[in-house]
Amino acid sequence: MASEREKLVSDVVEREGGEGGPAGPSDEVTDPQALRALGFVQMLIEKMEMDAEVTLAPDDGEGSADEIRLEIEGPDAGRIIGKRGSVLEAIQYLTTRVAHKPGEPRKHIAVDAEGYRARHEDQLAEMAKKLARRVAKEGKVITFDPMTARDRRVVHMALKDITGVRTESHGEGPDRRVQIIPVKN
């Protein structure tokens, strides 16, 4: 009988197009956190009776070496995203809790479905830049609605090099929000 690790490795979708494709059976996945994360998300999708596949995404050079990226694709991927990414965020949280074990170095785990996170982050960054131009022009503070830590980071990073404005986070817990503040020259 195959071990759990061998089963997980064999369940990973075959590499598409050589280097840079998703990890496949010929790509020995040995990271215990990646295996636990992949196995958990696969199990969750099966239990939810959704038509979708999960793959371990390759390192595209944009993330850090301490990141595990899982991609979910298929006809039911929209249901996995949920309203404003809420289901996807919950899956990522649970996956992180399952994958991390005491004594192991913690890796950031990112779960995406059909490229939702990338699209969402691009749109958020563009909106933040547009609002930053308005703040710089009008000199009035703009405060975003409460955001997740990930979204707040996207705003801060998008505006860090914009002249005439600075950003700050205010509030506690789920009410934490970002402000774009004009900088006096």
Q: How many structural domains compose the chain? A: 2
Model confidence at 5, in pLDDT bands (50, 70, 90)? very low
Q: Are residues 65 and 87 both part of a single domain? A: yes
pLDDT in tens, 64-104: 568 899 999 999 988 889 888 889 999 999 999 999 999 98
Model confidence at 18, in pLDDT bands (50, 70, 90)? very low
Q: CA 113 to CA 90: how far, in whole Å?
A: 13
Hey, what long-range contacts does 163-169 have (CB within 8 A, 24 or more apart)? 163/136, 164/132, 164/135, 164/136, 165/132, 165/135, 165/136
Q: Regarding predicted confidence, which is higher, 24 or 32?
A: 32
Task: Note if the pTM is more than 0.75.
Answer: no
Select from 99, 114, 129 the last residue of a domain.
114
Residue 120 confidence (pLDDT): 93
Q: Are residues 48 and 130 both part of a single domain? A: no
**H or E element, residue 161:** none
Select from 114, 131, 154 the last residue of a domain.
114
Query: Tell me, what CATH number does 101's domain have?
Result: 3.30.300.20
Select from 64, 92, 114 the last residue of a domain.
114
Say whether pLDDT at 14 is over 80. no
Residue 91 confidence (pLDDT): 94
Residue 16 confidence (pLDDT): 33
Q: Are residues 67 and 97 both part of a single domain? A: yes
Q: Regarding predicted confidence, which is higher, 9 or 43?
A: 43
Q: CA 100 to CA 76: how far, in whole Å?
A: 27
Domain hosting 164: range is 119-182
Asked if residue 79 lies in contact with residue 88, where contact means CB atoms within 8 angstroms, the answer is: no
pLDDT in tens, 127-165: 999 999 999 999 999 999 999 888 999 999 999 999 999
Q: Are residues 31 and 93 both part of a single domain? A: yes
Asked if residue 84 lies in contact with residue 14, where contact means CB atoms within 8 angstroms, the answer is: no
Model confidence at 62, in pLDDT bands (50, 70, 90)? low
Say whether pLDDT at 24 is over 60. no
